[in-house]
Structure 1
Amino acid sequence: NCAALPEGLLESELFGHVKGAFTGAVSSKKGKFALADGGTIFLDEIGTMSPAVQAKLLRVLQEREFEPLGAERTEKVDLRVVAASNRDLRRMVTEGRFLEDLFYRLSVIPIHIPPLRERRDDIPALTDHFIGKHNQRTGKRIEKVEDAVLEAFRGYDWPGNVRELENTVERAVVLSPDPVITRREISLLGVTEATPVGLPSLKLHQNVDWVERETITRALQRAAGIKKDAAELLGISQRALSYYLAKHHIE
């Protein structure tokens, strides 16, 4: 996930480094490109890459080679690169924020996945999938959502896309006292008829945890899942956000 790491760490993660390349580099480390040699690497949120890292990636795609940080040698690789972004890369090219050559190198076989609001028929199947996923994680036994919930889901525009749907279902699974999720457990951003669920208990630490999780979830939804943007909305560092994500098991 390119958005999850600062530029310096991302470069080291992708291309690797040699011992002494920077402060804290006490040993050499292979990067993801070297580890993926002969296989496939998936780069998510590629639109968040800095121009410097974009240029290095372009070299990998064009020349099939790169240099680890601090190294004097060039390494050859043979791999397939699959990239994804929820940003408009073509517009970023015209704005000078994404390398044109890299854009066309990545666009060999483009696959456009429409936003959730344009494929509302997928919502019931995705909802069932996320219920099963979070049942397993939480130990709950939620069976389904009531018809009124599915109607609300179909009528909502989902600005946070599939991530927002999953976060909404996960929250409902955690809060629902019954096997069927009702409208009471659902809270959609900007939908005034949704009934607020309130605090989960009178235990202070449980309420603090709930507020932290709810606030972080909403920030991620507003930022379309991009952690750097979510951290800015929350007024905290990316490192602090990573701590809270791990603490509350938010993916």
Structure 2
Amino acid sequence: MEWTIHQVARATGTTSRTLRHYADIGLLAPSRVGANGYRYYDDAALRRYQRILLLRELGLGLAAIAGVLDERTDAVQALRAHAELLEQEAARLDRLAASVRETVRRTEQGEELDVTTSFEGFDASRYEEEVVQRWGREAHDDAQRTWRGLGEDGRAAHGAEADAIGRGLAAAAARGAAPGDEDVQELVRRHHAWVSLFWTPGAEQYRVLTATYVEDERFRATYEAYGPGTAQLLSDAAALFAERELA
């Protein structure tokens, strides 16, 4: 049995453009291309795509994923290894959740943070390779220096602003707001300013960045956690903002 590129995209929550990009870089080729130009994926291709998604969930960049897949290890053995890594990641997320709950408790009771427990589960280095590949080493290092320089209060304020923007966009999406609505554009303006604390993107850079909020499963999950349609509204509204305000 085979599936078209649109069926695979719909079933996996990705986009046809992402699948075509994976084919272009040699990461995931369709099993065949029909005379009509349609791309088809068989069972073997879907199994490979599942491994790609698993490795993406673990934070690996595309180049690293290609290296793992090219090792041609036994499929069952590889899946067992992936499962172990996912279990390790689940444990890390449990520590992260406990850390955040402890921060909430201390904040509500007016206590200072405990540096030995407040950052359990955080691992900023896991995305380093991907950030460097996409935006450059200088952008990564500048962002890291800025983040370290914010201090606890600055980092908390930055996180609170991200949460406020996400909640505002979710409420707008729930009532069916359009990307060009004034209140939506104001939220996007705040989002651009939030990003610009580390790096100020121009029109095309901002459009590409916010497009990943829909195309990348991790970003989409982050924004969709606020409510259905949040990621898409932000991406569409940001494209409009970039055209009007940044071009």
TM-score by length of 1: 0.31
TM-score by length of 2: 0.31
Greater helix share, structure number? 2
